[in-house]
Amino acid sequence: MQIGGGAPVSVQSMSKCPTTDIEHVLEQTRAMALAGCDIVRVAVPDEAGAHAVKTIVKESPIPVVADIHFDYRLALDTIAAGVDAVRINPGNMKRDAHLRAVADAALAAGIPLRIGINSGSLERSLLKKYGGATADAMAESALSCARKFERWGFTNIKLSLKSHDVQETVAAYRAVAAACDYPLHLGITATGSGLEATLKSAIGIGSLLLDGIGDTIRVSLSSSPLDEVEVGVAILKLLGLRPHGVELVACPTCGRCKVDLVNYLATVREQLSGLDADITVAVMGCVVNGPGEARQADIGIAFSDEAGASLFRNGKHYASGPARRMVERLVSDVCRRGHKA
């Protein structure tokens, strides 16, 4: 699949079971692909993992990236096993002879290498030079490794520069994007789980994508890879980088709202879930902003009071009636525009 050069931004995630547990990896990968994941990465910590990769590559529904640290021979093994790309970390694969052997093998196989910088495994010399794992230190690590590969005639490169710190990460990606044209794989690392972790990824990855920076993304969460894929896909949808399906626009409600909007919204969300239609649906609580938002959506409802609501489509009012009946009509009118997945 094409990465960079104007191709759609893709979502990547990692399988989280031992790579030697081939059936489990494939089961996770199939579920991730169904959820919208484009690329799966698998950790290859040893020879047994590299051996397992051969079967995984053959049976995976999506491209497979081998994640290699420390031992360049594992990179060579996985390239021989047919992986679609290899991620290496110059913070723990330092010898030029080893890096060059990997670059030569990737060149012969026609696959890209991702130079994946992590703030937690940066070269000591750079930590000393910059006084820590700063954005500049990460950018220098990535770019100096890329320049080595260039000197050896290898340019099929992607870069990533991940830290747990959103601002450092964003600054590092901006610095590298200004210095080279290589495709960038975006992510904030070691975020943990829950709301804060999700927000870190959404803010960091979202800021960069809004700048036009980034070709693949990975949301890192200390939970299921399906959670990572769900958040990654949502980020792309909300930024208009992937068809968004049904997008609900709903007011937060306030003291003017005379209906149980939260409940009506839950009904609409549930009944439209899985609908295959790129459409914006507004559900608004009162006449202050309701008719305006409903007119701007493809189709929308604006409540007036418990007794009434009005429906709007393509900027025009087309029906009014009791609130519950109008909600039912809204759902059936939207459903006519698509089909359930």
267 binds ligand SF4 per the rule CB under 6 A = no
Pairing of strands 275-276, 216-217: unpaired
Per CB under 6 A, the segment of 1-9, 50-58, 253-261, 312-320 that binds ligand SF4 is 253-261
| Residues within window 94-113 making contact with ligand SF4, judged by CB under 6 A | none
Residue 290 lies near ligand SF4 (rule: CB under 6 A)? yes
- Provide the minimum distance between the beta carbon of 303 and ligand SF4 in the complex, in angstroms, as a whole number: 8
Longest dimension (CA), the chain: 77
285 makes contact with ligand SF4 (CB under 6 A): yes
257 is a contact residue toward ligand SF4 (CB under 6 A): yes
- Specify the stretch interacting with ligand SF4 by CB under 6 A; choose among 84-92, 111-119, 130-138, 285-293: 285-293
Instruction: Output phi, psi for 184, to 5 deg.
Output: -115, 135
The alpha helices in the chain, defined as continuous H runs, are 22-34, 47-59, 72-80, 96-109, 124-130, 135-151, 166-179, 194-210, 225-238, 261-272, 290-296, 323-335
DSSP states of 151-163: HTT---EEEEEE-
First to last CA, the chain: 25
DSSP state of 67: E
Q: Would you count residue 300 as binding ligand SF4 (CB under 6 A)? A: no
Q: Binding segment for ligand SF4 among 75-83, 179-187, 200-208, 288-296 (CB under 6 A)?
A: 288-296
By the 8 A CB rule, do 299 and 328 touch?
no
User: Per CB under 6 A, does 301 bind ligand SF4?
Assistant: no
Q: Shortest distance, CB of residue 284 to ligand SF4, whole angstroms? A: 5
Number of residues near ligand SF4 (by CB under 6 A): 12
Question: Which residues bind to ligand SF4, rule: CB under 6 A?
Answer: 251-254, 256-257, 284-286, 288-290
